[in-house]
Amino acid sequence: MKHVYSYSEVGARIEQRTKTIFTRSALVRVSVIKPGGKSHTIKVSINLLISSSSIGVFQCTYKNMLEFLEAFDINENEEIFEVCSYASQP
């Protein structure tokens, strides 16, 4: 029994509103900034990319940096951050 199909095989079903599911590798770029003031709030912008095409941008807020690191499963000593040479909002 075949469980995986090409678009040419299921395109008509999609047009008829049949739910179909696929998996595709994506790149996620996350920018993080503290808006300022005395607040510990962290603003995050998540850009979801397939190849060089942005297919979605999501924004969320975390109450502090620790909550952000935990949400993304990041160790505080992990060397993954790039620092922008200018200040900007996500």
- Residues with Cβ within 8 Å of 58's Cβ and at least 6 positions away in sequence, in order, are 45, 46, 48
pTM of the model: 0.71
In the predicted model, what is the mean pLDDT of the chain? 91
Tally of structural domains, the chain: 1
Domain-embedded: residue 50: yes
Per the listing, tokens 């808006």 go with 35
Domain-embedded: residue 8: no
Domain-embedded: residue 16: no
Segments forming the whole domain that contains residue 37: 23-71
Determine contact, residues 76/69, Cβ cutoff 8 Å.
yes
Domain-embedded: residue 61: yes
Pick from 57, 81, 56, 55: nearest CA to 68 = 81
- 48-81 pLDDT tens trace: 999 999 999 999 999 999 999 999 999 999 999 9
